[in-house]
Each structure stands twice: as structure tokens, then as C-alpha cells.
């Protein structure tokens, strides 16, 4: 609903991002001083958690590595249990420019999930070869399920409204890329409205992406299979307001 007051929380999944997480949190605080940040440190072997705490974030430390999906589910549960009704996912590597967050959140007036989408007319992000084809096929599948064209279904930069927070606190796929494509399919099948906003993604500020190009392609294929399975399962029911678990 347009104009509804919101209580947003930024959730930052992080694995070994000591070199970039501080700048990400500083940027967020400068642009969105009233929005608290939770960093979900997923068994990092570096100083990510200490650096994030020193930068003023709440840090949730997972005892061992669960992957982005498991970390985000932790973030959604934290949001639900602490009265936040909007979650914005922002990566710890500096790729997600926080200046777009107000626009993503505005999109929640007419949608349950707003994806910050590369390839949607802004920026010059290009994926090549099999990766590009796999991404296109996944985008087409998700678009069909969602009933509207979505161009970037593997983007982690997203705003989730109240119904999505409740659904995802309850059901969020934990495997790699499950947190992107599969989560969108689950949401669409549960009747959630998914929209996108064009964004420009920045290069990683430091460190290494968690997957190289070859492995990324294999995982995209695996994501395709996960999506097929998600399509065969009965739709998940969105828990009603005020419910826990």
C-alpha cells in the first residue's frame, strides 16, 4: 500500500569481507542514517565480524558456514522477531550501491519484492557464454511464474516487504543461488508480487567472488534443477501477520 509506514532493516550476508564491509556500512549509515544494519557473518576466517561490529552493525555469527541462503534466513528471522517489516539485502563487497535503496523500498508500495536489476537499461554489466544463457533461461522461467517480465533473477540486491519477510523467515532456500532464483519462484507461487528497478552494479571493492566463472555456470544449471523442483512442490503458505514459526 502506498504511503504505509515501514520499519526497514538492512541485512548484509558476509563471508570473509574484512576489506570491504566497513566501507559498505559507513556508506549505508551516511545515506540511510535511520535504518539499522545486521551483518550475518557466516563462519568467516578473517576479521569481518569485529570490523562490522566496530562500524556499528549488529553482527549475527553463524557457528559454521551455511551459505548466503542460510545467512539470509537468519536475517529474515531476526527481522520478524524484532518487529522489522522490510528487509533490504545488501552485499558486503560493495557491489550494491545504497543510493538505490530508497527506490527499491518505494517499489514495495506495489510489490512484495523489488529486485535491483542489472541489464534493465542502466549500467553496463554483461555476462557471457553459457552463464548468460543460463541466466536468460532462469529469467524466463521466473518471469513466467511471476506473471511479469523480470530481467535479472540472480541479483542479490533486493527489498522485501512484510509478506515476503514473513514467508522467508519461515521458508528460505539455503543452497547457493537458492537465495535468488528459487526464492523468487517460491514467492511467486505463494502469490507474492515481484517487481524490478533498474540499477547499476559496482565492481567488487576487494577480495574474491565466492565462485569462479566455471563453477558459477555449473551452479546456475543446478539452480535450474532446483527451480524445476520448486515448481513441482505445492505453494508455500504465507504465515499470517503476528504469527511465529
Ligand X SMILES: Nc1nc2c(ncn2[C@@H]2O[C@H](COP(=O)(O)OP(=O)(O)O)[C@@H](O)[C@H]2O)c(=O)[nH]1
Cβ atoms of residues 15 and 43 within 8 Å: yes
Which among ligand X, Mg ion, none contacts residue 71 (Cβ within 5 to 8 A by kind)?
ligand X
The piece of 3-11, 53-61, 89-97, 110-118 that touches Mg ion (CB under 5 A) is 89-97
Site residues, ligand X (CB under 6 A): 13-15, 17, 40, 42, 65, 67-68, 71, 91-93, 95, 156, 204, 209-210
CB of 159 to ligand X, least distance (A): 16
* Binding flag, residue 180, Mg ion (CB under 5 A): no
Nearer to ligand X, 78 or 162 (CB): 78
Cβ atoms of residues 101 and 31 within 8 Å: yes
CB of 153 to ligand X, least distance (A): 12
Among 93, 112, 179, 182, binds Mg ion (CB under 5 A): 93
* Binding flag, residue 95, Mg ion (CB under 5 A): yes
CB of 14 to ligand X, least distance (A): 4
CB of 220 to ligand X, least distance (A): 11
CB of 96 to Mg ion, least distance (A): 8
Which among Mg ion, ligand X, none contacts residue 85 (Cβ within 5 to 8 A by kind)?
none
Nearer to ligand X, 213 or 237 (CB): 213
User: Contact positions toward Mg ion, by CB under 5 A?
Assistant: 93, 95
Amino acid at each position: 500500500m502506498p504511503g504505509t509506514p515501514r520499519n526497514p532493516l538492512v541485512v548484509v550476508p558476509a563471508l570473509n569481507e574484512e576489506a570491504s564491509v566497513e566501507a559498505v556500512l559507513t556508506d549505508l549509515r551516511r545515506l540511510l542514517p535511520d535504518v539499522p544494519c545486521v551483518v550475518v557473518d557466516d563462519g568467516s576466517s578473517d576479521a569481518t565480524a569485529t570490523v562490522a561490529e566496530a562500524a556499528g552493525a549488529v553482527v549475527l555469527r553463524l557457528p559454521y558456514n551455511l551459505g548466503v541462503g542460510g545467512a539470509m534466513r537468519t536475517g529474515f528471522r531476526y527481522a520478524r522477531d524484532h518487529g522489522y517489516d522490510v528487509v533490504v539485502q545488501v552485499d558486503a563487497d560493495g557491489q550494491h550501491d545504497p543510493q538505490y535503496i530508497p527506490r527499491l523500498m518505494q517499489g514495495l508500495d506495489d510489490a512484495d519484492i523489488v529486485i535491483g536489476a542489472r541489464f534493465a537499461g542502466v549500467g553496463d554489466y554483461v555476462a557471457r557464454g553459457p552463464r548468460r544463457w543460463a541466466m536468460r533461461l532462469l529469467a524466463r522461467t521466473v518471469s513466467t511464474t511471476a506473471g511479469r517480465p523480470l530481467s535479472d533473477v540472480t541479483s542479490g540486491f533486493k527489498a522485501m516487504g512484510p509478506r515476503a519477510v514473513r514467508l522467508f523467515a519461515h521458508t528460505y532456500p539455503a543452497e547457493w543461488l537458492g537465495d535468488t532464483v528459487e526464492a523468487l519462484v517460491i514467492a511467486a507461487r505463494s502469490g507474492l508480487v515481484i517487481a524490478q528497478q533498474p540499477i547499476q552494479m559496482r565492481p567488487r571493492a576487494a577480495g574474491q567472488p565466492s565462485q569462479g566463472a566455471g563453477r558459477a555456470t555449473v551452479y546456475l544449471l543446478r539452480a535450474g534443477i532446483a527451480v524445476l523442483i520448486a515448481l513441482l512442490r505445492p505453494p508455500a503458505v504465507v504465515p499470517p501477520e503476528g504469527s511465529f514459526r
